[in-house]
Structure 1
Amino acid sequence: MEKALEILKNGGVILYPTDTIWGIGCDATNVEAINKIFEIKKREKTKSMIILVENERRLQDLVDVPEMAWQIIDLSEKPVTIVYENPKNLPKEILAEDGSIGIRLVKDDFCKKLISKLNKPLVSTSANFSGDKSPLKFSDISQELIDAVDYAVEENRESVSKYSGSSVIKVWSDGRVKVLRE
């Protein structure tokens, strides 16, 4: 945990286990680190990435949370990423073309502790090259990708994710809802 925090605080990029699959992450407020992830993944900058937060307070610091989003978060049994309009306090490089952002309120203890100690939201994008299969366990991650990041977390390397990703649901401030990924 301490090594991961040191890397993140210094603008580095890590591989880490999330509440779904293994992810590539960085401080979501650090533009240089965000751009480094796009380069590592060989991903177009027009494709947005999601961020993880550890508690409701941090979520509310970033977006106005519609009532419908709270209901979805409370009722969802699997990890759910909500796409919100008009985020604040985030660099444009992390936002989708329409200015929205996907945010997941994590329940995983390791992620919660890491984000809390960093005291900033954390980028989370699948630990693969753009277009490749998402890694359900650490051994699914290519050596080339492991070599490209600044640090790979030691935690949970043997476990296999129950989820191949989160549900992704867009919620508008007027209460409209659209399921983008189940």
Structure 2
Amino acid sequence: MAELIRIYEENPQEKEIKRIAEVLRDGGLIIYPTDTVYGLGCDITNTSALEKIARIKGVKLDKANFSFICEDLSNLSDYVKQIDSATFKILKRNLPGPYTFILPGSSNLPKVFKKKKTVGIRVPDNQICRALVKALGNPIVSTSIKDEDEVIEYTTDPELIKEKWDKLVDVVIDGGYGDNVASTVIDLTQSEPVVIREGKGSTVI
């Protein structure tokens, strides 16, 4: 059974953030708010937790396109090859924000992602998930939680999310109603930015 924990974005309770970071460290799965839709996440360094998420999503782990949720751009070099100043300016200008930027992966990626040539980096404009990443000490691997409903693609009510995911995750963070528009995905590995998916963020970057 998942635990539903209420956290306030304006001032996330440090005690609860630390407790959830411990759940992540122990291989737990969480559902948490971002600046777009609610996400399903785990500790990037925990292989068994990553495998659980891949099974839930019905994908092979080495082929999964998960995002890396970062607190800021300071640890980018841990996971991304050296980027030019123009690319860094785009990131700095738009993050934190509702974007997933595709960047060239570095050789420092966790073992399960070694074959990946690119990674999706997110720095959401949401205090809860950034506080979690800070408390954990490394990125959270994340994927959006989709709904089977043909009208509403993403569930936005944390209590309904808990009902649906109760037996699959350890914690559902109630950070208030989520958005139902996903992040804008932009590929920065080419000579010019390429919009892969239009979402909440502007495509003019």
Establish whether TM, by shorter chain, passes 0.5: yes
CA contact (8 A) 2:31 2:169 kept: yes
Instruction: Rate the CA distance shift 1:145–1:169 in 2: closer, same or farther, 3 A.
Output: same
CA RMSD of aligned residues (A): 2.7
| CA distance in 2 between partners of 1:31 and 1:149 (Å) | 16
In 1: Cα distance, 2:30 partner to 2:83 partner: 28
Task: Select 1:125's aligned residue among 143, 150, 169.
Answer: 143
What 5-or-longer segments of structure 1 have no aligned partner?
none
Unpaired stretches in structure 2, ≥5 consecutive residues: 1-16, 199-205
- 8 Å CA contact 2:43–2:49 kept in 1: the answer is yes
- Cross-structure match for 1:90: 109
Shift of 1:85: 1.1
Q: Percent identity?
A: 29
Provide the rounded CA distance (Å) in 1 between the counterparts of 2:193 and 2:137: 30
CA distance in 2, matches of 1:175, 1:35: 34
* Secondary structure of the corresponding residue to residue 57 of structure 1: coil
1:9 aligns with 2:28: no
What corresponds to 1:33 in structure 2? 49
Query: Which residue of structure 2 aligns with residue 54 of structure 1?
Result: 71
The separation in 1 between residues aligned to 2:160 and 2:59, in whole angstroms, is: 19
Q: 1:98 to 1:117 in 2, by over 3 A?
A: closer
Does residue 177 of structure 1 match 2:196? no
Deviation, 1:81, is 1.0
Query: Hey, what's the Cα distance between the residues in 2 that align with 1:51 and 1:131?
Result: 26
Summarize the Cα distance change of 1:59–1:146 in structure 2 as closer, same or farther, 3 Å threshold. farther
**CA deviation map 1:73-123 (0-9, x unaligned):** 34448511111113343225347x752110012331111111011001111
Aligned partners of 1:43 and 1:129 also within 8 Å: no
Q: Could you tell me which amino acid in structure 2 is paired with residue 36 of structure 1?
A: K
Equivalent residue number for residue 143 of structure 1: 163
What is the CA distance between 1:141 and its match in structure 2? 2.6
- What SS class does the counterpart of residue 167 from structure 2 fall into? helix
Structure of higher CA gyration radius: 2
Equivalent residue letter for 2:18: E
Instruction: Output the TM-score relative to the length of structure 1.
Output: 0.82
User: What is the alpha-carbon distance in structure 2 between the residues aligned to residue 72 and residue 159 of structure 1?
Assistant: 29
Query: How many residues were matched structurally?
Result: 177
Whole-angstrom CA distance in 1 between matches of 2:149 and 2:192: 30
Query: Partners in 2 of 1:137 and 1:100 — Cα distance?
Result: 32
Choose 32-41 or 128-137, whichever is displaced more.
128-137
In structure 2, do the counterparts of structure 1 residues 11 and 80 end up closer, same or farther at CA, with 3 Å as the change threshold? Answer: same
| Match in the other structure for 1:71 | 89
**Shift, 1:29, TM fit:** 2.0
> Against the structure 1 CA distance between its residues 104 and 88, is the aligned structure 2 distance closer, same or farther, given a 3 Å change threshold?
farther
d(CA) in 2 for partners of 1:135 and 1:93?
29
